[in-house]
Amino acid sequence: MSVPCRISDYNEVISSYSVKGLETLNPDFVDYVKEVAEVTPDDLPIVLNVVGDKLTQTEQKTIEETILDDFAYDLGMVEKEERRHTWIFRLMIVVLVVMGIALELVGEEVGVPREFLYIVFWFAGDTLVDYVFLTGYDLRQDRKLAGRLASMKVVFSEAYEDTVYTQDDVERLHAEMEEDVRGTIPKGY
């Protein structure tokens, strides 16, 4: 799906606080692209059509590289957060099992240690339920969106034309995006 983005100035995409060689995206631009990408059907590739006639070739190249770099960074951060939550999830399973066994072994008559074991048991259970039903779902959605944004294609045009993609076009775009992503993965992964 072609996402139109009309700009009149380079700094509408690239933050005016950036320095040459260390450019970052304008937060308003990032919010716009994310909002549009969230409502784009998952089976369609995202093609960002930057519409503006005042951009030089150097600015276009900088914009494209910065968009892909920033969204690739966001994908890495989402994956890092998801790995952290997966580690916590596994730890809570172990804690839940150990506390369950400890509660069975302690018996009914021990007061304070039994209450402490109950508190830890319910904390681990609550954390697992939160991850499975709330946080885990949000993280998977964030990873899917970040992955789609990190692999989107950026094109530039002087005027917006609504593009109609055939199934062959969609398959070609997916192949191009997959090749672009493969080119950014470090060796050994």
- Residue 143 buriedness (CB in 10 A; 0-12 / 13-18 / 19+): middle
Task: Round to whole Å and give the CA distance between 189 and 180.
Answer: 15
Query: Domain residue spans in the chain?
Result: 2-182
C-beta of residue 121 within 8 angstroms of C-beta of residue 100 = yes
Among the listed residues 145, 143, 150, the one whose alpha carbon sits nearest the alpha carbon of residue 78? 143
Q: Which strands make up the sheet holding 153-157, listed edge to edge?
A: 2-6, 47-51, 153-157
Is this structure's pTM higher than 0.85? no
Tens of pLDDT, residues 28-67: 999 999 998 888 888 878 888 888 878 888 988 999 999 9
129-148 pLDDT, tens digit per residue, is: 888 888 888 888 898 999 88
Q: Please state, in angstroms and as integers, the Cα–Cα distance from residue 139 to each residue in 79, 99, 134, following that order.
A: 9, 28, 9
Tokens 């995202």 locate to 46
